[in-house]
Structure formats: C-alpha cells, structure tokens
A and B are shown apart, each in its own frame.
Chain A
Amino acid sequence: MTETSISTKGSNWGYAPSPESADHFKLKDQYGLFIGGKFVPAGSGKRFATINPANEKTLAQIADAGEKDVDKAVKAARIAYEKVWRKMPGRERGKYLYRIARIIQERARELAVVESMDGGKPIRESRDVDIPLAAAHFFYHAGWADKLGYAFPGRSANPIGVAGQIIPWNFPLLMVAWKVAPALACGNTVVLKPAETTPLTALLFAEICQEAGLPDGVFNCITGAGSTGAALVNHPGLDKVAFTGSTDVGKAIQKSLAGRSTKLTLELGGKAANIIFEDAAIDQAVEGIINGIFFNQGHVCCAGSRLLVQESVEQEVVEKLKARMEHLIVGDPLDKNTDIGAINSKAQCERIRDYLKVGQDEGAELFQTKCSVPEKGYWVRPSFFTKVAQSHRIVQEEIFGPVLAIQSFRTLDEALEKANNTPYGLSGGVWTDKGAKIFKVTRGIKAGVIWANTFNKFDPSSPFGGYKESGYGREGGRHGLRPYVELS
C-alpha cells in the first residue's frame, strides 16, 4: 500500500513542551509563621530558603520557628480551644470546614502550581490528584463535625484539646488536609509543622483559613526544620501528636512522649508488595505497577516498591513493564506532559542514588529507562532491579524513590510469605481475575490498606494506616475520627 504524502513522518511525532502558566498569582518574597490568626516573623528573625527542586531556584524565604515561637503557637491554640472552638456547636465548626473546602477549590490551580514548584511533583498529579483530594477531605470531615454521636456507638465523643501535627514533603497540601480536617472537625485546635522543603502550600492554606474567617488560633502553622518539630513534640501543652514520616523519627517521637499522657498516632514507612498472579489482567497490572512505584517519583509511603510476580508470567510482565516505562516522561514538573517530576531534595536524590549503587553491589541487575533528564535539578530515571533476593537491602529497606525490586513466586502461600516478610505493614496490592483469590490474599497480607486490581487509590472516606512498624492509628473514614476524640 502506498503511503499518502504527508508533511511529517509519524514515527518522529512527539509532544512539544506544554508548560502550565504560573503568572496568574504571585508568591510573597517571604512568609512568616501563622500564629493566632496572623503571620508573624520568627522571634529570632531566622529564615531559610525554600527552593524549586527542578531548577534549584529560591521560591521564598521562610521563617524558622524556635522554641519560643512553638510555645506561642501552642498557647494560641490552647486559648482558641478553650474560649472558642470547644464551645462552638459542631454544626458551626463544620461550616468553617465547608468554607475552607470551597476556597481550596477556588484557588485550586494556584495551589497546584505552587505544590509542583515547591515539591517537584508533576503538575498533572497536583492538579488532578493532590488538590482535589485535599478539598474532598475538608468536605468529608466538615460533615462529621455535628454528627460525632453517630460515629461511636454507645459513647459520647468530645475533643481532646490541642494537637501538634508534623507532616512530610511528599503530598504537602494533602497531608495538611489529612491532619487538619479531622482534628478540627472533632473540635480540636492545631499547631502544624510542614516539612522543611515544602512549606508553601501549608502557608497558602493559612491564608485560606483567614479567608474562611476561621477563628484566630484554631489553626497555627510553624515552619522550620527538624529542631522545630522536636520542639513541638516536646511541648507539654499538647494533648495529641500526629506524625507522618520515617519510621526512625516515629520511634523517636514515641520515646519522647513516654511518661506523658499525650495521645500519639504515627503514619510511617512501608515496603509494600504488589502481587501479580498469572490470571491477572496483565496490561492493567503493568499500569498498576507504574501507578504503584513511579507515581509521585516513588515518594509514597504506601508505594508498591516490591513486585512479586508469578513466575509463569514473569517474562511477559517484565517485558511489558520495560516497554511501558520507556514512555514515562521525566522532566519539568510544570510541564503538563511530565509523568515523573523532580526528586524533592538533593539529600533525597543522593539517598536514592546510593541505593541504586547498593543494589548493584548486592548483585542485583539494574534496568533504567533511557529518557532524557534536565541538566539542573534533582532527577532519577524510573528503575527496577531483577535478580534480587529477599535479604537484599533494596528489598528490605524503604528507598522512597522511583526504584522497584522484582521477585518471582510460584504459589499463593509463597507470595503471602514474601509479602509479609518485612517489619513494615502499610499497604499491599494483589492482581488476579479470580474473586475468591482476591479475598484470600487480602485477608492474608498483614497491612492496613490492600488494593485489589488497582493501586494507590485514596478517598477521604477510606481509612488509611499501617500495621507493625508502619505506624498505628487510621486517617480518613469513620475510623479516622477515633484518634481525635475522647470517648466517655
């Protein structure tokens, strides 16, 4: 068949850059701490820069909270709790949260762009996933504020008091929503410390609280680094601490709270097994692997970082995975076509590269795609290891990057054994077309969230949290309210 004359050869057709516009809003040069409803500088005047990991440019100067600032914030939260928030009828509290949800929706694009600039995640993810979910969390929890009597049969639910919350850099605004929405809905007030490398959307959230008319001191935001977080956890004025981050820090927090009556919930690391059976819908399972470990650059506590594939389909899966990975675009987070953005920080990038070396030293075989990456900034191409053993560090330890470890199994029992052979227990995935098998496997995996024929799905009504060293307590759903109430 003769080819009709065309001006372009189809095999060369690619995607031109499609940058999201960032000119419809302006970031401030510097941001203060948000205490008692106002932005104030750190008492010491100290500041640090937050940078864009895609180009290493400074975005803004951020106040560095010291112990005195932490104290001010906790006191402001306490006053707001005693005088205003605990007395307010649930219905009215809920209305503030509805307002916040709506304003997040109104400022959605601005928030998405800032999220991508500050943290490195692709604009498509922040626009289509992070920001809408954040709004949804506030919508969902707003509705519980006056209905707590139905959430705890036989008991009366009351707020606990002042909650100190420390969140990570992988889903900055979404983590704000996961922590703040239930806390406020249940009548508590909050002092939040966002991650050092991603403070901006939390600060914009503080602005949104002002726009919503949230009473002063109900939400406070103290920016800073590890020492700020420690100062917060150690403050005697907290009734509750909630932490999402690494297992090591989580353990340290539990130790510092020993001897105090402060309630604690932890959402820590994971090394989830993503199990693919021979009777799975293979093409969709391959997409599930992509969603499980390369989505958000693998900076996901519940990432499917271990692939357990039934040996009979191992070759097919690996071949398809390679082909699929070659279409992943690594690049400018603000380009709408980018699939994998920048690694959040130089430190994290080095850590991941370290593991890539460790894996090879341990005898595993590395595959990386051939895509181009920009010159400036922090980047890792999507990668996987084959020829791995259960005892390898790259199989046991959380890498927190776009790096997958692939192992095979023969029987269902073997898959479960491998899946559970870890101190972690946050999440897991199972792919099979057979219903009964799904439920047998979901029953068998020792983790708090199991995805069957899908991966990395979140909803404000769906409880999330881990077993074992992945932490304790749940966030989202009716079960996620429990950590924020006192039952009598």
Chain B
Amino acid sequence: MSSSLAISTKLNLQGHPVDEVGIRERVARLATRSIKKASKVEGLKLALSMVDLTTLEGADTPGKVRQLCTKAIHLHSGRKDLPMVAAVCVYPTMVRIAREALQGTPIQVAAVATAFPSGMNPLSVKLEDTRYAVAEGAHEIDMVISRGDFLRGDYGRVADEIEQVKEACGKAHLKVILETGELGTLDRVRLASDIAMQSGADFIKTSTGKIQPAATPEVVLVMLQAISDFYRKTGKRIGMKPAGGIANAKAALNLLIMVREVLGPAWLTPSLFRIGASKLPNDMLMQLEKERTGVYQGLDYFSND
C-alpha cells in the first residue's frame, strides 16, 4: 500500500539496543525502595486514582458492568478519604451502560477496540469497531497493534494502522496496546513503543491482560525509557499504562517508584499514568486499612464487585 510506504519513510527508527540483564538489575534495585508510613498511604491513594477498573469478559452483562461502576465510585464504604479510580475499561457494547452508570462523576470510560484482543481482523473492521465505541461515548480507546505485521517486520503497516485508528478516535484519547508478551525481546518492546508514539499514541500500554506474561516490571521499565527519550526529542509527554499481572499493592507501588525515578514526578498523574487491573484495588484498600488500624486485613471485609 502506497500509504504505508509513505508512513514507513516517516518513521524515525534508529536502533536502540536494550540489555536484558541490565534492565532486570535496575528493576530489582528499584524494587528495594522502601515505601512506609505517610508515603505508603499517599502512594496507595495515588495508585488507586490511577486505576482503570477493568472487566473484559465474554460473559459481561449490563448488570456486571453497573456493579463495576459502583465499585469504581465507592471503593470502600466507611472511608471518606479515598479517591475514585481514573476510568472503567469495558468492551464497546458495554460503553453506553458504563457512561450511564458513571454519569456525574469524573470517571472516564475507556473501551477496548480494534478486534481486541487479537487484532486479527481487516483494518476496516477495526476502524468501524473504534468509531462505534467512540459514538457510544467512550472517552478513551485502547487499541491493539497487529503483532503479526510487527513480527514480520512490516512496521509501516503497523504505524499506518495506528494513525488511522487515531483519526477514527476523534476527540477520544488513544492508548496503544503493544501486547509485550508476544513480542519476544525487550529490543522489540522498545521498537514497538517508538512506532506507537511516532504514530500518534497518547498512551502506550503493555498488554491486553489476556495472555501471560503481561505487565512485567522489565517491559514497563523499557517502555518508560522509551517515553523518556521521546520526550527528550519532541517535548511531548506520552502516558503509560501497565495492564495485567499487577498482583498486589506492592507491585503497584513499585510501578509508581519506577515512574518517578525514570520519568520524574510530572508523570505521577492519572492523565499520564494508568494501571489496568480488576482485583488490585482490594489489596490496596487492605494495605490502607492496615496503615490506618495497625492490623493486617482479610478480604472478607472488602466488597467484591
């Protein structure tokens, strides 16, 4: 396609080697940061405010989505000092329900689109998917890149698709899911990040959450470094969203530490950093309760929406 040829010459993809062992060591050292007392409480609340509360199941129903939205607004009764999450993330056919349920709150509705999670449909279908979700009221679109095209080396096509989806988004913000678990090496994660940012992504996102491995700290670090370099070159701040596999509050705090020390405090805001998760908030709430009461908590005391 002539347009993808034109796009590929626009791409500025210089080699940027990534040393895996070095990455693992930096991740390990960042994870030794000890976040206690006030900074732990602040960090947890900050992390909660960055959550994209997610349900992406074939079995989702309006009732399930409404339940999730209630949880998004009221994470835990009995505490007045908790933030709301940043967004709720659903399939396109659930967007309208979510918009209704979240009316009057600042919580955004993000929709996955472009034949999520595999992306194995023609571009026309993926664009229609996007337009539909936007028309239904999605504030944000989480798209998937074509991993097959990427692994074949057809970077022009990958970039072209992202550009066109971005156009179809209109005013909606675009997160580009790299599906790092399928890319193989950290070098490739870096390359995919660069392609996505150069093609108009507002956010780059690690995974669909449908396969393992998902958002490992190693891929997160590589992507944060890509964002840092992009900012150095263009002055543009791109956001980042790890999704899937963020098991507990400690992992969430480790993410904040990484963002702070790799990108800087300016990125510690929901408009530039999100955490895609479904069960994670309860673990963070348990930690917050433990800090408040001094005793370890159990899941029985936290709502399971």
Instruction: Give A contacts to B, CB under 8 Å.
Output: 1-8, 10-18, 124, 128, 279-284, 287-288, 319, 323, 327, 336-337, 433, 453-454
B185 interface hit (Cβ, 8 Å): no
Chain B residue, CB-CB nearest to A433: B17
Chain A residues with CB under 8 A of B214: none
A-B contact pairs, 24 of them (CB 8 A): A1-B139, A1-B270, A3-B269, A4-B270, A5-B49, A5-B84, A7-B42, A7-B45, A8-B46, A10-B265, A10-B267, A13-B43, A13-B260, A13-B268, A15-B34, A16-B39, A16-B40, A17-B36, A18-B36, A284-B19, A336-B32, A433-B15, A453-B19, A453-B22
Chain B residues with CB under 8 A of A337: 33-34
| Centre residue among B19, B23, B173 by max chain A CB count within 10 A | B19
CA–CA, A127 to B25, complex, Å? 16
| 3 cross-chain pairs, A with B, having the tightest CB-CB distances, nearest first | A10-B268, A284-B22, A18-B34
Whether B42 pairs with A13 at a CB distance below 8 angstroms is yes
Q: A281-B19, A336-B34 are in contact. Are A4 and B42 (CB under 8 A)?
A: no
CA–CA, A103 to B223, complex, Å? 43
B59 interface hit (Cβ, 8 Å): no
Q: A3-B269, A5-B84, A336-B34 are in contact. Are A327 and B261 (CB under 8 A)?
A: yes
Chain B residue, CB-CB nearest to A14: B39
- Extra A-B contacts (13), CB below 8 Å, given A13-B39, A15-B33: A3-B270, A4-B83, A6-B46, A6-B83, A10-B268, A11-B266, A13-B260, A14-B39, A18-B36, A124-B32, A281-B16, A288-B22, A336-B32
CB distance from B51 to the nearest CB of A (A): 10
B81 interface hit (Cβ, 8 Å): yes
Chain A residues with CB under 8 A of B270: 1, 3-4, 6
Chain B residues with CB under 8 A of A288: 22
CB distance from A308 to the nearest CB of B (A): 19
CA–CA, A16 to B43, complex, Å? 11
CB distance from B173 to the nearest CB of A (A): 7
B85 interface hit (Cβ, 8 Å): yes
Q: A10-B269, A13-B39, A454-B21 are in contact. Are A5 and B83 (CB under 8 A)?
A: yes
Whether B22 pairs with A454 at a CB distance below 8 angstroms is yes
B1-41: contact bitstring with A at CB < 8 Å (1 yes, 0 no)?
00000000000000111110111011000001111111110
CA–CA, A478 to B236, complex, Å? 54
Chain B residues with CB under 8 A of A1: 108, 139, 173, 270-271
B43-84 interface with A by 8 A CB criterion: 43, 45-46, 49, 81, 83-84
CB distance from B12 to the nearest CB of A (A): 15
B86 interface hit (Cβ, 8 Å): yes
B292 interface hit (Cβ, 8 Å): no
B204 interface hit (Cβ, 8 Å): no
Whether B81 pairs with A287 at a CB distance below 8 angstroms is no
B93 interface hit (Cβ, 8 Å): no
B277-305: contact bitstring with A at CB < 8 Å (1 yes, 0 no)?
00000000000000000000000000000
Chain B residue, CB-CB nearest to A324: B261
Whether B39 pairs with A15 at a CB distance below 8 angstroms is yes
B90 interface hit (Cβ, 8 Å): no
CA–CA, A3 to B38, complex, Å? 22
CB distance from A455 to the nearest CB of B (A): 10
B106 interface hit (Cβ, 8 Å): yes
Instruction: Give B contacts to A, CB under 8 Å.
Output: 15-19, 21-23, 25-26, 32-40, 42-43, 45-46, 49, 81, 83-86, 106-108, 139, 173, 225, 232, 256, 260-261, 264-271
Chain A residue, CB-CB nearest to B85: A4
CB distance from A280 to the nearest CB of B (A): 7
Chain B residues with CB under 8 A of A17: 36
CB distance from A278 to the nearest CB of B (A): 10
**Set A11, A14, A336: member contacting B269, Cβ < 8 A:** A11
CA–CA, A279 to B187, complex, Å? 13
Chain A residues with CB under 8 A of B84: 4-5
Whether B21 pairs with A11 at a CB distance below 8 angstroms is no
Q: A8-B45, A284-B23, A433-B17 are in contact. Are A128 and B39 (CB under 8 A)?
A: no
Chain A residue, CB-CB nearest to B36: A18
CB distance from B21 to the nearest CB of A (A): 7
Chain A residues with CB under 8 A of B33: 15, 336-337
Whether A11 pairs with B268 at a CB distance below 8 angstroms is yes
Q: A7-B83, A11-B268 are in contact. Are A16 and B37 (CB under 8 A)?
A: yes
CA–CA, A7 to B43, complex, Å? 10
CB distance from A109 to the nearest CB of B (A): 14
Whether A284 pairs with B83 at a CB distance below 8 angstroms is no
Whether B19 pairs with A6 at a CB distance below 8 angstroms is no
CA–CA, A191 to B232, complex, Å? 56
Chain B residues with CB under 8 A of A18: 34-36
CA–CA, A10 to B35, complex, Å? 14
Chain B residues with CB under 8 A of A3: 106, 269-271
CB distance from B40 to the nearest CB of A (A): 7
| Centre residue among A12, A18, A288, A454 by max chain B CB count within 10 A | A18
CB distance from A14 to the nearest CB of B (A): 6
CA–CA, A453 to B23, complex, Å? 11
Whether B265 pairs with A13 at a CB distance below 8 angstroms is yes
Chain B residues with CB under 8 A of A11: 265-266, 268-269
Chain A residues with CB under 8 A of B85: 4
CB distance from B91 to the nearest CB of A (A): 21
CB distance from A436 to the nearest CB of B (A): 15
**Set B21, B37, B45, B265: member contacting A6, Cβ < 8 A:** B45
Whether B106 pairs with A4 at a CB distance below 8 angstroms is yes
CB distance from A344 to the nearest CB of B (A): 22
CA–CA, A1 to B265, complex, Å? 19
CA–CA, A62 to B190, complex, Å? 55
Chain B residues with CB under 8 A of A15: 33-35, 39
Whether B173 pairs with A8 at a CB distance below 8 angstroms is no
CA–CA, A287 to B19, complex, Å? 11
Chain A residues with CB under 8 A of B256: 13
Chain A residue, CB-CB nearest to B105: A4
Whether B39 pairs with A4 at a CB distance below 8 angstroms is no
CA–CA, A4 to B39, complex, Å? 20
Chain B residues with CB under 8 A of A319: 232
CA–CA, A319 to B233, complex, Å? 12
CB distance from A449 to the nearest CB of B (A): 18
Whether B39 pairs with A284 at a CB distance below 8 angstroms is no
Whether A4 pairs with B22 at a CB distance below 8 angstroms is no
CB distance from B123 to the nearest CB of A (A): 27
CB distance from B35 to the nearest CB of A (A): 6
Chain B residues with CB under 8 A of A124: 32
CB distance from B81 to the nearest CB of A (A): 6
